[in-house]
Structure 1
Amino acid sequence: MTESPQKKPTAKWPALVFVGLALAMGSYVAWRLDSAPRTDDAYAQADVIDVVPDVSGRIVEMLVRDNQRVAKGDVLFRIDPRPFQDELSRARASLVALDKQIELTSRSVKAQQYGADSAHAAVGRAQAAAAQATERLRRTAPLLDPGYVSAEDVDRARTTQRAAEADLVSARLQAQQAAVAVSGVDALVAQRDVISAEIALAQLRLDMTTVRAPFNGRVVSLKTTVGQFASPMKPLFTLIDTGQWYVVANFRETELQDIRVGALATVYLMGDTSKRFNGTVDSIGYGVLPGDGGLVLEGLPRVQRTINWVRVAQRFPVKIRIDDADPELFRVGASAVATLRRLPSGDVPRNGSGK
């Protein structure tokens, strides 16, 4: 009696389980990407300035080295102060000399004023003498006909009256001349204001020979030392503001509609993936330079020819402000990974901005 061959156990179940797990994992990843956008196209950023002196001169002291941390107010370097000290000394000496000149001129003005007052008093005396002579002539003239006075007496009174009038005219002219001769110190006082301004400017230039850190930061790209001639036209090094760090994360434009200013973020740097840092979306970029055409050249848009039918979504920078940055780990340009938590349309961001 022949036995029928037994059927071999099917091997479909492991495959089905694998496919189910793959679908579940794919769904989970899609849900995570939709609820928490993530990108590894990100980098650390901070505000930086080019350190340049405000005055020109030879560097006589360099107090920092490359990649050194500095605190706000620390002296970075000094420029030879001697030319500016000489300029300040000259301005101060000019002010002292001008003050002496003002003092002497004031004395001269007082003397001139005394002369003018004396001439004015002389006018008063001449007026009195002229009035007396006129009155004498008025009393003497009627006495000529009765014979009480002689004609010579009348002529003498008339001459005296005319001489008094002439003296009065002369006194008045002398008083006017004395009044005009009285000068003043207004011009010198105005000149003193100019020299005082020059002293303040010279003092400011002297103070500028000592360059200090405007904020807590780190010195980078230092390539000079003592002896270099520095000028305001050439940066000596760069100073990174380590007081506030950012991560600029480039997200696809299809993800921006649900990203809001004020949304919470978690980032980590490739330099140490074990540390997580909290952040907040500070701003969302509104412009990038397209790399595949659309640039306007000579009034016409330039569109490159391409046979690529796949439409790649543009990426826009999202600036994330880091709340608890590690100054020893963060570096400008360091690679980062950012994950955002989208805010629903009705939520109000922490900074109150809904834009």
Structure 2
Amino acid sequence: MLLVLAALCSIGWKYQQYLEQPWTRDGQVRAQVIQITPRVTGPIVAMHVNDNAEVQSGDTLFEIDPRTYEAALKQAEANLAQAKSKLKKAQDDAKRGKSLHRREPGALSQSTLIKLDNAVEAADAGVMVAKAALEQVSLNLAFTQVKAPADGFVTNLTLRTGSQVVANQPSVALVDRNSFWIEAFFKETDIKDVTAGAKAVVTLMTYPDQPLEARVESIGYGIAHKDGSTGVELLPNVNPNFQWIRLAQRIPVRIKLDKVPDDIQLRVGTSASVMIIKTAQDV
């Protein structure tokens, strides 16, 4: 009898703790996944990383064949030299015309002088265009070296030397190592008193014996609702439900870990349990 009473007391205490400190097993590790997107098109001539490799910001991930862009750079340099030569000729012609006009007024018509000035302006604009083209080509050549924009982990790498990459199409996934958080789903009835900054405890399924201290970073302001969405023949979708059962909706809560020990490796998509501490004596 005493054992039964003790068990009931224990269950009651646990239930009270659950009411005061909401808990869920419906949590997952999340992180920002950067889609590495080449800025130029071409075949890969060198791979500098392997699948699941850890990289630092600025590390070269792979190289695109630069020969096309090197040739374009030489062409742009030649175009700039040609534009500068045209500018110098236009300036010299304008200088000689004005000098002649000063020595022999009326030797050149006013329209001719204006044309000489216009030719200088046009040649000057040509130099600016050539410089811009050279800068663009130089950037394209630099873009053949595809680098990591942040510290992180390369994942699901399928590229190989010889693979063709296309400009502005994602080719590599990079998990930002400094962006991990926990996304936990709590019943709407459990979070009415929860605010950003509340203390939380996270237990990763991968490391069940190492609870981690955390804080509530934010609480979601909305979830998708299927009822009323457009279905077949433009009619609304309405899911059947039981009138005598009213289930609480689950709201996403973003949890920020205070500190992650060196011996724990967070991985996107892995499971986590989260408990939010609401009682004053535990904060």
Give, in angstroms, the shift of residue 194 of structure 1. Answer: 1.0
Give, in angstroms, the shift of residue 301 of structure 1. Answer: 4.5
Per-residue CA deviations over 1:181-212 (Å, capped at 9, x if unaligned) read: 23121110011111111111111111111111
RMSD: 2.1
Per-residue CA deviations over 1:325-345 (Å, capped at 9, x if unaligned) read: 25752100001111111277x
Q: Give the match for residue 217 of structure 1.
A: 152
Q: Give the match for residue 324 of structure 1.
A: 259
Letter in 2 for 1:104: K
C-alpha contact 1:258 1:343 (8 A) present in aligned 2: no
C-alpha contact 2:39 2:168 (8 A) present in aligned 1: no
Q: Give the match for residue 268 of structure 1.
A: 203
Q: Give the match for residue 35 of structure 2.
A: 50
Per-residue CA deviations over 1:107-135 (Å, capped at 9, x if unaligned) read: 22222122212222xxxxxxxxxxxxxxx
The 1:325–1:295 alpha-carbon spacing in structure 2 relative to 1, beyond 3 Å, is: farther
TM-score by length of 1: 0.72
C-alpha contact 1:61 1:77 (8 A) present in aligned 2: yes
> The residue matched to 2:240 in structure 1 has which SS?
coil
Please list every run of at least 4 consecutive aligned residues from structure 1 whose deviation after the TM superposition is greater than 6 angstroms: none
C-alpha contact 1:47 1:240 (8 A) present in aligned 2: yes
Q: Give the match for residue 111 of structure 2.
A: 180
1:251 equivalenced with 2:186 (yes/no): yes
Q: Give the match for residue 5 of structure 2.
A: 20
Q: Give the match for residue 99 of structure 2.
A: 114
The 1:343–1:233 alpha-carbon spacing in structure 2 relative to 1, beyond 3 Å, is: farther
Q: Give the match for residue 239 of structure 1.
A: 174
Letter in 2 for 1:332: V
Q: How does 1:293-332 map to 2 (within 5 A)?
A: 294-297=227-230, 301-307=236-242, 309-326=244-261, 328-332=264-268
> The residue matched to 2:40 in structure 1 has which SS?
coil
What is the alpha-carbon distance in structure 2 between the residues aligned to residue 45 and residue 114 of structure 1? 74
Which protein shows a greater Rg? 1
> The residue matched to 1:257 in structure 2 has which SS?
coil
Letter in 2 for 1:340: I
Instruction: Note the residue ranges of structure 1 that are not aligned, 5 or more in a row.
Output: 1-14, 121-173, 350-355
My pick for the range that moved more, 60-69 or 293-302, is 293-302
Letter in 2 for 1:318: V
Give, in angstroms, the shift of residue 226 of structure 1. Answer: 0.8
Per-residue CA deviations over 1:235-272 (Å, capped at 9, x if unaligned) read: 22210011131111110111010111111111121111
> The residue matched to 2:81 in structure 1 has which SS?
helix
What is the alpha-carbon distance in structure 2 between the residues aligned to residue 179 and residue 244 of structure 1? 68
The 1:307–1:31 alpha-carbon spacing in structure 2 relative to 1, beyond 3 Å, is: closer
Greater share of helix:
1
Letter in 2 for 1:50: Q
What is the alpha-carbon distance in structure 2 between the residues aligned to residue 268 and residue 192 of structure 1? 63
Give, in angstroms, the shift of residue 308 of structure 1. Answer: 6.9
Q: How does 1:25-36 map to 2 (within 5 A)?
A: 25-36=10-21
C-alpha contact 2:212 2:259 (8 A) present in aligned 1: yes
Letter in 1 for 2:112: A
The 1:110–1:289 alpha-carbon spacing in structure 2 relative to 1, beyond 3 Å, is: closer
Q: Give the match for residue 269 of structure 2.
A: 333
Instruction: Note the residue ranges of structure 2 that are not aligned, 5 or more in a row.
Output: none
What is the alpha-carbon distance in structure 1 between the residues aligned to residue 261 and residue 174 of structure 2? 17
C-alpha contact 1:245 1:325 (8 A) present in aligned 2: no
C-alpha contact 1:116 1:179 (8 A) present in aligned 2: no
My pick for the range that moved more, 21-30 or 217-226, is 21-30
Q: Give the match for residue 193 of structure 1.
A: 128
C-alpha contact 1:263 1:343 (8 A) present in aligned 2: no
What is the alpha-carbon distance in structure 1 between the residues aligned to residue 85 and residue 6 of structure 2? 98
Percent identity reads 31
> The residue matched to 1:258 in structure 2 has which SS?
coil
1:61 equivalenced with 2:37 (yes/no): no
> The residue matched to 1:302 in structure 2 has which SS?
coil
> The residue matched to 2:100 in structure 1 has which SS?
helix
